[in-house]
Amino acid sequence: MDITVNILLTIATAATPLLIAAIGELVVERSGVLNLGVEGMMIMGAVGGFGAGYLTGSPWIGLLAAVAMGAVFSLLFAVMTLSLATNQVATGLSLTLLGLGLSGMMGTGFVGQPGERLPNLDIPGLTSIPVVGRLLFGQDPIFYISIALTAAVMWFLFKTRTGLTLRSIGDSHTSAHALGIKVIRYRYLSVIFGGACAGLAGGHLSLVYTPQWVENMTAGRGWIALALVVFASWRPWRVLAGAYIFGAVWIGQLHAQAFGIPVPSQLLSSLPYLATVVVLVLISRNKRLTMMNTPASLGQPFVPDR
């Protein structure tokens, strides 16, 4: 039983940063903006979180710094694409490249220094319940944030008026604009929310997953988060499922290897990616459904007529 619990806990740790970053990006894309800079915002969150935690000795300050770092960094993207109407794909890609380089420079002094780790939840009486105790009451704080965040985004997008407005902007910014909705303001806030989420995901890496700072430590997780949003066809609960499937396949293949199952390790390592491709193919088979779910003005610049 113990090993099952351990495996589940490992899966949760692996899935959490993907989930948070993808949920943030989902809101951004629902508002009609495509931000390919997730990887860059994530690594900035990781270096900011680690740095603040290391310098102050408090991982909680680190956590706040990670969120702030992601948000501030995304502001750069927002100004470029929303106020100056630059190409979103190009700007997003350069945001990633900039983030990877800048974080390496900022983190020079942190290399080789052990950092602070956010403590796991420990509720006397509850955490010690066999099996479910550690799963429900013994994980790191960001895990709970990620679940709450998913629920909140689900509620916000589909149950509130503001959420409806946001989705309508994503579907047709010109119509929304004609109705007097402040398209640019909504999009600014969405992009900043996405940045904060990516920053938090980065903070999870450097404050929980592997409490250390090393360059490129996100190792492509930002791109996986981006893929998850498409994979989930812009639905929050599917992002949750996708992140956990991805985590489960990944952890499962490690266990299969350690167990000595004679399947080539290269094949096992590529399983999570193969799974993504298969799901994408299955989803795109139904063209109508895909069209319905994709925010129609995704990636198109919007310049309000004056």
Partner 1 sequence: MKKLLIALITTTAAMSLAVTAEAADKFKACWVYTGPIGDFGYSYQHDQGRLEVEKALGDKVETAYLENVAEGPDADRAFERLAREGCKLIFGTSFGFMDPEVKVAKKFPKVMFEHATGYKTGDNLGIYNARFYEGRYVLGQIAAKESKAGVAGYIVSFPIPEVVMGINSFMLGAQSINPNFKAKIVWVNSWFDPGKEADAAKALFDQGADIIVQHTDSTAALQVAEERGLHGFGQSSDMIKFAPKAQLTSLTDDWGPYYISRVQAALDGTWKPGNVWLGIKDGAVKLAPFTNMPDDVKAMAEATAKKIADGWNPFTGPIAKQDGTPWLKDGEVADDGTLLGMNFYVKGVDDKLPQ
Return residues touching partner 1 (CB under 8 A). 3, 6-7, 10, 13-14, 17, 34, 36, 39, 89, 93, 96-97, 100-101, 104, 107-108, 111-114, 205, 209-217, 219-221, 223, 226-227, 230, 250-251, 254-255, 257-260, 262, 264-266, 269, 280, 299
User: In terms of CB distance, is 125 or 291 closer to partner 1?
Assistant: 291
User: In terms of CB distance, is 107 or 170 closer to partner 1?
Assistant: 107
Q: Residue 234, by phi and psi: left (phi above 0), alpha (psi -120 to 50) or beta?
A: left
d(CA 225, CA 291): 21
CB of 119 to partner 1, least distance (A): 11
When computed from its CA atoms, the radius of gyration of the chain, rounded to whole angstroms, is 20
CB of 173 to partner 1, least distance (A): 19
User: In terms of CB distance, is 61 or 214 closer to partner 1?
Assistant: 214
User: In terms of CB distance, is 180 or 259 closer to partner 1?
Assistant: 259
CB of 171 to partner 1, least distance (A): 19
d(CA 99, CA 93): 10
User: In terms of CB distance, is 149 or 227 closer to partner 1?
Assistant: 227
DSSP-based helix, strand, coil % in the chain, nearest 5: 75, 0, 25
**Residues in Cβ contact with 8 at an 8 Å cutoff, skipping those fewer than 6 apart:** 135
**Which DSSP string corresponds to 225-252?**
HHHHHHHTTT-HHHHHHHHHHHHHHHHH
CB of 30 to partner 1, least distance (A): 16
